[in-house]
Structure 1
Amino acid sequence: MSDEVLLDRDGATAIVTLHRPDAGNAFSTALKSALVEALREVGSDDAVRAVVLTGAGSVFTVGQDLREAVQALQANPARAGDTVLAHYNPITLALASMPKPVVAAVNGTCVGAGLGFALACDLQVWASGATLATAFTGVGLTCDSGVSASLVRAVGQARASRLVLLGESFTVEQAVGWGFAGEVVPADQVLATARTLADRLAAGPTRALAASKRLLAAGSSRSLAETLQAEAVEQSALGLSRDHAVAVEAFLNRTAPVFTGS
């Protein structure tokens, strides 16, 4: 794994850090490849029950490394956009579909694909005063990393259209007023707050959290009948889990359950 992405484990929580602070954690090919690898690693590691995604320094990410993008265009214009399929899509899917919760610790400026990654996470903690932007149209491109869907879910069609088409930057306080979820805290408290959330989730019923992610992700595209059937299937499986049995017993004994993720 490249040193442009750091992976640290603390108990059942893994922290994935974009690590190009001198370049605003811009997405170089090396960083994107390492991020795909890191997310796949923690996603498949049963010992990891929650994940934090953050950036090194005072910036979450400024988005695509445009110097590298220029080099790719000069080398082979027809292949310059391959990074969307090779990197951005796998990263977004890994965050959104990982069978464990992911918390975005957005410690500063968050632009372009970085905004898509933050919104693909299950929970967000935002640095107060942080600048956000879609930025795609400013470089003659359109949405990637799921922004065309996640931004609409967060702020509605009309607001998302304005943010994408005009590409204007906005503050996290504005974003929360428009519908973004998550806590807004001073920048120096973002990681600690995200860690507290992740640790809480890591101590929870991992299989139930994974099932909840699946149901919520598919809920808007299903009919009511399909939703009810999917919920019934998930509930039936979870009813046989050890965590459910432990929780019921703890409830009857008026004690706190200790979940193991099994």
Structure 2
Amino acid sequence: MSLMNDFINQLPIFNGDIVLFTSDAVRLGYYFHKNKENFDINELLDLILNKIGTAGTVLFPTYNWDFCKGIQFDYKNTPSQTGSLSQAALKHSAFKRTKHPIYSWAVAGKDREYLCELNNTDSFAEDSPFAYLYKKNGKNIILDVSMQNSFTFVHYVEQTVGVSYRYVKNFSANYIDETGMESLRTYSMFVRDYDMDAEVNLEPLENYLLDNKIIEETKIACSRILSIPLNKTFDIIKEDILNNQSKMIATYKGQKN
């Protein structure tokens, strides 16, 4: 069996799953090279799609924060700033990009068209892909990255529940849609309040989820894989926000020890 097939067989995804993939593929690519096998990203994407089947949906984050700096977003040409797998997904024929210029996603599978028709202007609102992942009991597969550097879903929970150390901020810039039409558009994002010295700190959350076996942690080849149930994790973060001053997810001025 090839290394690629062995990797996919052990990956904790199944037929009909709704999966968000966040990843750093450098270590995995090096492992393939070291073992004299070709690391073909398109083959990896094909095998993932085959494993979740026609009833499943897979999302790769293709985030790009340049819009926040007033830089034009081009639906067809603005690259992903979130890794080689997400950039490859943008070019793969089975995937289609969602519309938000900051938090866009490359999507394939059953709910691709539904997600790509969403017109959410707010990054983390109830009409966003984040809400879809929560309501559909999605899972987040994390490849060789800590939650600290990959778990954007936490901001959806923060906005939904309400926190004092973030606020909704509007950003405007030129937007070129998939038909080539250009317009000035405004989109929003739930941003840190720098006056409160707000910082993301997800290490306590990751440790809690691992200690309580809510996260499934797997070692495949040289890679560490986390499988995070987003519905259960939402409830844990909500409890932390409401009753523990968000101590498992953030630090900010005025937070009591």
TM-score using structure 1 length: 0.29
- In our comparison, the structure showing a higher alpha carbon Rg is 1
Q: Which has the higher contact order (CA 8 A, sep 6+)?
A: 2
Higher strand proportion, which one?
2
TM-score using structure 2 length: 0.29
